[in-house]
């Protein structure tokens, strides 16, 4: 059995529809490789009332759409044990490569950017364009020069202090922070 988007045909008689479309239903239910929709549209559950999570279904993982805490329609999932995960949050923009934010499934957020240690200075204060809601768990700093050992101190929801040891010349570095 395989998905066939040409069935039923336009002049198909109603009494024969069941046998014609049964294979298509099986392809959807079984997730057969022949069923490859270009998109799935999820109705926002919040628009029709409170944004309640769907009822649990044994041995099932559900995807659905509802508003997040700031009123944006986002994609969520719920497992059979009631574990809810937010899968999307806004859109990361590469337009501002100095300091951008992104979202990782499960609620962890990533912030990343580029900056420069000034010549002769071993510290650089980094302020996020938008703060983490709770805390910054960690920072990874990658210098674009050899002979530099970078590290981060004073992690906060609003930013961190990038520090270095090694050469005293001006050094460009990239950073990535994660938190919630």
Q: Which domains does the chain have, with CATH numbers?
A: 1-38 (no CATH), 39-90 (no CATH), 100-179 (2.60.40.2080)
Cβ contact 167:145 at 8 Å: yes
Q: Binning pLDDT at 50, 70 and 90, where does residue 97 land? A: very low
Average pLDDT over residues 9-25: 78
Burial class of 125 by CB neighbour count within 10 A (0 to 12, 13 to 18, 19+): exposed
Give the pairing type, strands 62-67 and 73-78.
antiparallel
The three-point CA angle 161-166-167 to 5° equals: 105
**165 has a pLDDT exceeding 80:** yes
**74 has a pLDDT exceeding 90:** no
**1 has a pLDDT exceeding 70:** no
pLDDT in tens, 145-163: 888 888 899 999 999 999 8
Q: Binning pLDDT at 50, 70 and 90, where does residue 99 land? A: low
Q: Which residue has the higher pLDDT, 140 or 95?
A: 140
**106 has a pLDDT exceeding 70:** no
C-alpha separations of 123 from 74, 128, 149 in Å: 38, 16, 12
């Amino acid at each position: 059995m395989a998905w066939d988007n040409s069935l039923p045909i336009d002049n198909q008689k109603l009494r024969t529809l069941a046998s014609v479309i049964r294979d298509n239903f099986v392809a959807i239910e079984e997730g057969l490789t022949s069923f490859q929709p270009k998109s799935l549209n999820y109705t926002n559950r919040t628009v029709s009332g409170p944004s309640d999570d769907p009822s649990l279904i044994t041995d099932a993982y559900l995807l659905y759409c509802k508003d997040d805490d700031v009123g944006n329609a986002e994609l969520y999932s719920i497992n059979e044990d009631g574990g809810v995960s937010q899968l999307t949050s806004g859109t990361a923009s590469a337009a501002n490569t100095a300091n951008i934010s992104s979202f990782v499934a499960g609620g962890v957020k990533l912030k990343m950017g580029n900056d420069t240690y000034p010549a002769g200075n071993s510290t650089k204060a980094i302020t996020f364009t938008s703060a983490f809601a709770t805390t910054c768990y960690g920072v990874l700093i990658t210098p674009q020069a050899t002979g530099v050992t970078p590290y981060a101190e004073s992690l906060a929801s609003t930013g961190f202090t990038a520090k270095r040891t090694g050469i005293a010349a001006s050094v460009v570095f990239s950073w990535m922070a994660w938190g919630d």
